[in-house]
Amino acid sequence: MKNGIRKDIDWELMGAILANEGDEEQSDFIKSFLKECASWGTAHQVEMQLCSVNHRLSAEERETLKMLSYDGEL
């Protein structure tokens, strides 16, 4: 898929649409995002990109995202 989408994308609109989908669609999106990242070659490249994204998020946004990697019982 590398460079497969070459259009201007309204990311705010895409985020709003995704936020209003169900958990199945949302998890499909996240899985496909991670699969594409994994195609870059090394885990280090992916970690550095995610670190850069993390740096641009507010403390509140990072706190909200913690549930994506929560591994305990709810």
* Entry pTM: 0.80
Domain ranges of the chain: 11-69
User: For 24-44, b where at least 16 C-beta lie within 10 A, e where not — what string?
Assistant: eeeeeeeeeeeeeeeeeeeee
* C-beta of residue 51 within 8 angstroms of C-beta of residue 37: no
pLDDT value at position 2?
58
Residue 9 has pLDDT above 90, yes or no: no
Largest CA distance in the chain: 41
pLDDT value at position 66?
93
CA distance 13 to 9: 9
Helix ranges (H only) for the chain are 11-19, 23-38, 43-56, 59-65
Q: In this predicted model, what pLDDT tens digit does every residue of 19-70 receive, in sequence order?
A: 999 999 999 999 999 999 999 989 999 999 999 999 999 999 999 999 998 8
